[in-house]
Structure 1
Amino acid sequence: MFWSRSSRAVRQQWRLYSSLSRQSRHLRAPTPSPLSPLSAPTARAFHATGALSVVKPVLLADIGEGIVEVEIIQWFVEPGARVEEFSPLCEVQSDKASVEITSRFAGVVKKLHYEAGEVAKVGKAFVDIDIEGDAKDEALAALTPPEPAQQESNRESDAVPASTATHAPEPALRENRAQDAPTQKGKHATLATPAVRHLSKELSVDISQINGTGRDGRVTKEDIYRFVERRDAAPSRVPPPQPSPAMPAAGMFSSPAAPGSEEQKETPLALTRTQEMMFKTMTRSLSIPHFLYADEVDFTSLVELRGRLNKVLSKSGLSDGQVSKLSYLPFIIKAVSMALYKYPILNARVDVESANGNGKPKLVLRSQHNIGVAMDTPSGLLVPVIKNVGSLNILGIAAELARLQSLAVVGKLSPQDMSGGTITVSNIGNIGGTYLSPVVVEREVAILGIGRMRTVPAFSTTPGEEDKVVRRQVCNFSWSADHRVVDGATMARAAEVVRAIVEEPDVMVMHLR
Structure 2
Amino acid sequence: MWKLAIAKSITQQIGAIRCRTQHYKCLSKLQGFHTTHFRPAVVPYLLADIGEGITECQIMSWAVKPGDHVNQFDAICEVQSDKASVEITSRYEGIIKQLHYNVDDLAAVGSPLVDIEIEDEISPLRADEEALGTLQGTENVSIDGAVEKLVDTIKVSAPTTANTHFATPAVRRLLKESNIEISQVQGTGKDGRVLKEDVHRHIMQLSNQPEQQSDPKLGDETVALSPVQTKMFQSMTGSLSIPHFLYTHRVNFSPLTLLRKRAVDQKMLGSLETTHPEKLTALPIILKAVSEALKRYPIMNSNLAIENISSRPSLVLKSAHNIGVGMDTPSGLLVPVVRNVQNHSVLSLSKELARLSTLAKEGKLSPKDLSGATIVVSNIGSIGGEVVAPVILPPAVAILGIGRSRQVPVFQTNKDGTETITKQEEAILSWSADHRVLDGATVARCAQMVGSLLENPELMSLICH
Give the TM bin, normalised by the shorter chain: 0.7 to 0.9
Separation in structure 2 between the aligned mates of residue 202 and residue 370 of structure 1, nearest angstrom: 37
Q: Does 1:419 align with 2:394?
A: no
Give matches, 1:427-506, under 5 Å: 427-460=379-412, 463-465=415-417, 467-506=419-458
2:326 aligns with 374
Gap regions ≥5 residues in structure 2: 1-18, 28-35, 122-159
Give matches, 1:264-283, under 5 Å: 265-283=219-237
Separation in structure 1 between the aligned mates of residue 422 and residue 202 of structure 2, nearest angstrom: 56
475-484 or 319-328, which moves further after superposition? 319-328
CA contact (8 A) 1:210 1:219 kept: no
Which one has the largest radius of gyration? 1
Q: Shift in Å at residue 485 of structure 1?
A: 1.0
2:11 aligns with none
**Which amino acid is 2:81 matched to?**
S
Match for 1:200 among 175, 192, 196? Answer: 175
Q: Closer, same or farther in 2 for the Cα pair 1:219/1:299, shift >3 Å?
A: closer
Q: Does 1:402 align with 2:389?
A: no
Separation in structure 2 between the aligned mates of residue 224 and residue 458 of structure 1, nearest angstrom: 43
Q: Shift in Å at residue 215 of structure 1?
A: 11
Separation in structure 2 between the aligned mates of residue 414 and residue 452 of structure 1, nearest angstrom: 30
CA contact (8 A) 1:56 1:129 kept: yes
**Which amino acid is 2:234 matched to?**
K
Q: Does 1:345 align with 2:299?
A: yes
CA contact (8 A) 1:97 1:411 kept: yes
CA contact (8 A) 1:108 1:133 kept: no
Give matches, 1:117-196, under 5 Å: 117-132=104-119, 187-192=162-167, 196=171
1:329 aligns with 283
1:251 aligns with none
TM-score by length of 2: 0.74
Match for 1:104 among 67, 91, 98? Answer: 91
**Which amino acid is 2:388 matched to?**
L
1:307 aligns with 261
Q: Shift in Å at residue 217 of structure 1?
A: 9.6
457-466 or 102-111, which moves further after superposition? 457-466
Q: Closer, same or farther in 2 for the Cα pair 1:397/1:124, shift >3 Å?
A: same
1:78 aligns with 65
Q: Closer, same or farther in 2 for the Cα pair 1:344/1:466, shift >3 Å?
A: farther
Q: Shift in Å at residue 332 of structure 1?
A: 0.4
**Which amino acid is 2:343 matched to?**
S
**Which amino acid is 2:175 matched to?**
S
**Which amino acid is 2:461 matched to?**
V
Q: Closer, same or farther in 2 for the Cα pair 1:353/1:329, shift >3 Å?
A: same
Q: Shift in Å at residue 416 of structure 1?
A: 1.6
Give matches, 1:180-259, under 5 Å: 187-192=162-167, 196-197=171-172, 199-205=174-180, 207=182, 220=194
CA contact (8 A) 1:459 1:466 kept: no
Cα deviation digits, residues 312-336 of structure 1 (max 9, x gap): 3787796533522200011001011
CA contact (8 A) 1:440 1:446 kept: yes
Separation in structure 2 between the aligned mates of residue 358 and residue 53 of structure 1, nearest angstrom: 59
Q: Does 1:62 align with 2:16?
A: no
Q: Closer, same or farther in 2 for the Cα pair 1:190/1:474, shift >3 Å?
A: closer
Q: Shift in Å at residue 465 of structure 1?
A: 4.1
Q: Shift in Å at residue 200 of structure 1?
A: 1.9
CA contact (8 A) 2:171 2:331 kept: no
Separation in structure 2 between the aligned mates of residue 378 and residue 313 of structure 1, nearest angstrom: 37
1:114 aligns with 101
Cα deviation digits, residues 396-447 of structure 1 (max 9, x gap): 1000001111122222222121111111000111211111100000211100
Separation in structure 1 between the aligned mates of residue 187 and residue 282 of structure 2, nearest angstrom: 40
Q: Closer, same or farther in 2 for the Cα pair 1:460/1:216, shift >3 Å?
A: closer
Cα deviation digits, residues 131-173 of structure 1 (max 9, x gap): 3259xxxxxxxxxxxxxxxxxxxxxxxxxxxxxxxxxxxxxxx
Separation in structure 2 between the aligned mates of residue 213 and residue 65 of structure 1, nearest angstrom: 32
CA contact (8 A) 2:168 2:331 kept: no
2:142 aligns with none
Separation in structure 1 between the aligned mates of residue 234 and residue 68 of structure 2, nearest angstrom: 38
Q: Does 1:298 align with 2:252?
A: yes
Gap regions ≥5 residues in structure 1: 1-40, 135-184, 241-261
Aligned length: 396
Q: Closer, same or farther in 2 for the Cα pair 1:120/1:477, shift >3 Å?
A: same
Q: Shift in Å at residue 268 of structure 1?
A: 2.9
Separation in structure 2 between the aligned mates of residue 397 and residue 214 of structure 1, nearest angstrom: 28
CA contact (8 A) 2:69 2:95 kept: yes
**Which amino acid is 2:248 matched to?**
A
Q: Shift in Å at residue 56 of structure 1?
A: 3.1
Separation in structure 2 between the aligned mates of residue 200 and residue 73 of structure 1, nearest angstrom: 15
Q: Closer, same or farther in 2 for the Cα pair 1:313/1:85, shift >3 Å?
A: farther
CA contact (8 A) 2:292 2:464 kept: no
**Which amino acid is 1:201 matched to?**
K
Separation in structure 2 between the aligned mates of residue 237 and residue 370 of structure 1, nearest angstrom: 53
Q: Closer, same or farther in 2 for the Cα pair 1:462/1:103, shift >3 Å?
A: farther
CA contact (8 A) 2:78 2:86 kept: yes
2:149 aligns with none
CA contact (8 A) 2:60 2:168 kept: no
Separation in structure 2 between the aligned mates of residue 313 and residue 380 of structure 1, nearest angstrom: 39
CA contact (8 A) 1:313 1:319 kept: no
CA contact (8 A) 2:47 2:113 kept: yes
TM-score by length of 1: 0.68
**Which amino acid is 2:459 matched to?**
V
Q: Shift in Å at residue 496 of structure 1?
A: 1.1
CA contact (8 A) 1:60 1:121 kept: yes
Please state whether the residue corresponding to 2:382 is helix, strand or coil.
coil
Q: Shift in Å at residue 479 of structure 1?
A: 0.1
CA contact (8 A) 1:292 1:478 kept: yes
CA contact (8 A) 2:386 2:428 kept: yes
